[in-house]
């Protein structure tokens, strides 16, 4: 997602307030398209196969950039449909980097980072790689696992259990 602006201020209670202002994504999250809520949706949302394929490619390109597109390797850590946002042309943008980790400069095909807290699973159950639950290291392979689960959901229409 493109950052348009930043804000740093004091809120009404005297606490520090910081915000990032992102580009507006007119079509909301992929989650809303895959699993529309009848109460919130005026009309049924259906994605055609070609749209699903294009979204899958957009996400793959975003992950490839995070993992190998610069001198830094970034693990997203929470890849799921609600963190994929769709613009007015249905181009997918990966958002929510709250659990992301910069793990190192690119030095090998298998780049890892030890979790700071191995007790709590970081990520969303159903999308997070199972080895993270055993306190394993954060790695780009975890994002690839989550992407695979996301693809299954996109093409079967079934939510993770």
Please identify which residue in the block is written with the tokens 């958002």.
Answer: 95
> How much is the pLDDT for 34?
93
Residue 61 within a domain: yes
pTM for the predicted model, two decimal places: 0.79
The reply to whether 149 falls in a domain is: yes
CB distance 52 to 154 below 8 Å:
yes
**Residue 14 is assigned to a structural domain of this protein:** no
As a whole number of angstroms, the distance between CA 143 and CA 18 comes to 27
Domains identified in the chain, total number: 1
Residue 24 and residue 40: Cα distance in Å, rounded? 19
Model pLDDT, residue 136: 64
Kind plus residue range of the DSSP H or E element containing 54:
helix 49-68
What distance separates the 2 farthest-apart alpha carbons in the chain? 50
Distances (CA, A) of 31 to 15, 61, 122: 33, 19, 20
For residues 90 and 105, give the distance between their C-alpha atoms in angstroms, rounded to a whole number: 32
Q: Is residue 57 part of a domain?
A: yes
- Cβ atoms of 101 and 138 within 8 Å: the answer is yes
Other CB atoms within 10 Å distance of the CB of residue 32:
17
Q: What is the CATH number of the domain that holds 122?
A: 1.10.510.10
Q: Check residue 40 and give its pLDDT.
A: 59
Residue 2, classified by CB atoms within 10 Å of its CB into exposed (0-12), middle (13-18) or buried (19+), is: exposed
pLDDT reported for residue 93: 96
Q: Is residue 120 part of a domain?
A: yes
Q: Tell me, yes or no, whether 35 lies in a domain.
A: yes
Question: Active-site residues: which are they?
Answer: 78
Task: Please give the average pLDDT of every successive group of 10 residues along the chain, which has 161 residues.
Answer: 84 87 91 80 75 98 94 92 96 90 63 45 81 75 95 92 73
pLDDT recorded at residue 60 = 98
Determine, yes or no, domain membership for 56: yes
Query: Is 40 within a domain?
Result: yes
Q: Tell me the pLDDT tens digit for each residue of 81-96.
A: 999 999 999 999 999 8
Q: Which domain holds residue 94?
A: 25-156
């Amino acid at each position: 997602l493109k950052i348009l602006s930043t804000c740093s201020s004091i809120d009404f209670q005297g606490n520090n307030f910081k915000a990032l202002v992102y580009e507006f994504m007119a079509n909301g999250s992929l989650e809303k398209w895959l699993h529309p809520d009848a109460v919130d949706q005026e009309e049924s949302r259906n994605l055609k196969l070609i749209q699903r394929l294009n979204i899958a490619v957009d996400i793959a390109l975003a992950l490839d950039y995070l993992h190998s597109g610069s001198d830094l390797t970034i693990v997203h850590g929470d890849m799921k449909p609600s963190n994929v946002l769709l613009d007015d042309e249905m181009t997918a943008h990966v958002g929510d980097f709250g659990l992301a980790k910069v793990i190192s400069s690119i030095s090998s095909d298998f780049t890892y980072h030890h979790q700071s807290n191995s007790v709590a699973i970081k990520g969303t159950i159903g999308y997070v790689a199972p080895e993270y639950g055993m306190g394993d290291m954060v790695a780009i392979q975890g994002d690839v696992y989550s992407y695979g689960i996301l693809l299954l959901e996109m093409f079967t229409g079934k939510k993770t259990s």
